[in-house]
A and B are shown apart, each in its own frame.
Chain A
Amino acid sequence: KAGVTQTPRYLIKTRGQQVTLSCSPISGHRSVSWYQQTPGQGLQFLFEYFSETQRNKGNFPGRFSGRQFSNSRSEMNVSTLELGDSALYLCASSGGLAVISRSYNEQFFGPGTRLTVL
C-alpha cells in the first residue's frame, strides 16, 4: 500500500504571497490532518478533515485554511505569508472512524513540505 504523499517537497516563497500544499492519504483513509513543525514550537496541529468536512482546528490564524476532496485528497492554503510561516508542513492520514480503536488512532505521516518564506 502506498504511503502518504505530499507535494511539493520544497517550496520557496516571499512574504505576502500565498501557497497551496497538497496531500494524498493512504488509499482507504478518510481522515487527513495537517501539522506545522518548527524548531521553536515543535509539531503543532493545524486542522483535521474527514469526509470533506473540517472536524477539528488548532490555534492558528485564519490565514491557514484547508479543504478535502471527495477522494480524500487534501490541500492546505496559507495566504499572506509571513517569515514565521517557514516550517515543515506535515500531513497525516488515518482510518477515520469516529471510534477509539487501536487501528484508527495510528496516524501515518507523509514526508512533509519544507516551506521557506523569504
Chain B
Amino acid sequence: SQKIEQNSEALNIQEGKTATLTCNYTNYSPAYLQWYRQDPGRGPVFLLLIRENEKEKRKERLKVTFDTTLKQSLFHITASQPADSATYLCALDISTGRRALTFGSGTRLQVQP
C-alpha cells in the first residue's frame, strides 16, 4: 500500500530563517500532492497543491517542489515567523477525481522569536 513519510521530529528554527519540510512517498504515482497546515485542536487548512508535471509552486512565502523521480516533495517557508508554528501535513489523493486523501503523519514546526 502507499506510504507517506514526513519527519516526525519537530523542526525548530529561528525567526527569519527558511524552514524546509520533507515528504517522501512510496508505492504510488500521484497526479498531485497537497500541503496542509494544522494548528492544535483545529482541522487542517489547505496551503498548496502541486501537480506531477509541475516542478515548483509558490504562494507568498511558501514554496513547494515535487520530484516524481525521487518521490519527494519539499515544502519551504521563507522568512519564517513565530505565527508559522504549526504542524504541516502532506497528502496524496489516492483516487483520481475523488477526495480520498492519504496524509503523512505531519511535521511540527516551531519558529523561535
Contact = CB atoms under 8 A, between A and B. Distances in A.
Interface string B85-109: 0000101011111111111111000
B contact face: mostly helix, strand, loop, or mixed = loop
B31 A92 contact: no
A56 B100 contact: yes
Nearest to B8: A42
A58 interface: yes
B4 to A, nearest CB: 9
B100 A45 contact: yes
B44 A43 contact: yes
A102 B93 CA distance: 12
B66 to A, nearest CB: 14
A45 B101 contact: yes
Interface in A74-93: 90, 92
Nearest to A42: B105
Given A42-B103, A42-B106, A105-B34, A98 B46 contact: no
Interface string B24-39: 0000000110101000
* Range, interface on chain A: 20 to 34
A56 B95 contact: yes
A66 interface: no
B101 A100 contact: no
B74 interface: no
Interface in B7-23: none
Given A42-B105, A42-B106, A43-B44, A107 B31 contact: no
A110 B95 contact: no
A33 B44 contact: no
Contact of B31 (A33, A44, A90, A100): A100
A34 B7 CA distance: 25
Contact of A105 (B32, B103, B104, B105): B32
20 contacts: A4-B43, A31-B99, A33-B99, A42-B103, A42-B104, A43-B89, A56-B95, A90-B43, A100-B31, A100-B32, A100-B96, A105-B93, A106-B34, A106-B49, A109-B36, A111-B41, A111-B42, A111-B43, A112-B42, A112-B43
